[in-house]
Structure 1
Amino acid sequence: MLRKLLLSVAVIYTLALIVVTFISLDGVPNLGSSFDDKIYHFLAYAGLAGLWITFFKSGKTKQNLWLIFIVIFLFGVLLEVLQHQINIKRTYDNFDLMANASGVIIGTLIAVRLNIIKLK
């Protein structure tokens, strides 16, 4: 039951991230820094990685962790590249990719280290 719930949350979060990537975000709260966008990218991908790592219980093997990391990172690259094609107000940014990758690394480390949810 918990595993199904976690899968649902991970899928909904992933779909929400896709939608947010392609829409204009004019009303996003200002955090008061010049790199608010990078903070949002970092947090979004840390959450994404944390959810999927927890779902797959991949803390057991480094190979699985790398595979999930690579898939999530490539997912972020794909969204970053496509966003300008879908919405001309959005642009590709290498710093966004670095924020995404940093978020994936930290989200993965947190999920593995804390072993947040023990699934059966």
Structure 2
Amino acid sequence: MITRLLLALKKWALPILVLYALALTIGSLAHIGDIPSLGSSFDDKIYHVIAYFFFTVLVYNSYKKRKVAYAILISAICVIIYGIVIEVLQQVLTSYRTLDIYDAFANALGVVFAALIIRFKNKLKLK
């Protein structure tokens, strides 16, 4: 069952990535209500880490499907740049969101976690 799920994810890598990117962009720029509380003072940063972790995995899967060299590095760079652009757009395009450097750091942390896990998983497969 897991194998079929992984094959389906590879087949649909690009459409899933596009939908996720669209949802992430809208969620980042739209005026949304309160997000569910996780019970900490930095819930927002946890959500950023999780969102960008999954975004990195999706970008990596899309690149890997196309056999792009250095897919992990390219994915990480693209997603970090995307996160920075979104933070700038929040400041420029909205009156209800602001550029937050800590959000950008949380985004990058999610990217790094995803890249490390992907790298570790790939090393295990090689052996």
TM value normalised by structure 1: 0.83
| Deviation, structure 1 residue 114 | 3.3
**What percentage of residue pairs aligned between the two structures are identical?**
37
Q: Which runs of 4+ in 1 moved over 4 A?
A: none
Report what 2:38 is aligned to.
Answer: 31
| Deviation, structure 1 residue 87 | 1.7
- What is the Cα-based RMSD across aligned positions, in Å? 2.2
Unaligned runs of 5+ in 1: 116-120
| Deviation, structure 1 residue 8 | 1.1
Report what 2:3 is aligned to.
Answer: none
Question: Which amino acid is the alignment partner of residue 95 of structure 1?
Answer: Y
Question: Which amino acid is the alignment partner of residue 80 of structure 2?
Answer: F
Report what 2:93 is aligned to.
Answer: 86
Which of 61, 64, 76 is the equivalent residue of 1:69?
Answer: 76
TM value normalised by structure 2: 0.79
Unaligned runs of 5+ in 2: 1-6, 123-127
Whole-Å Cα distance in 2 between the matches of residues 18 and 51 of structure 1?
Answer: 15
Give the count of matched residue pairs.
114
Question: Which amino acid is the alignment partner of residue 108 of structure 1?
Answer: A
Asked if 2 retains the 8 angstrom alpha-carbon contact of 1:38 and 1:96, the reply is yes
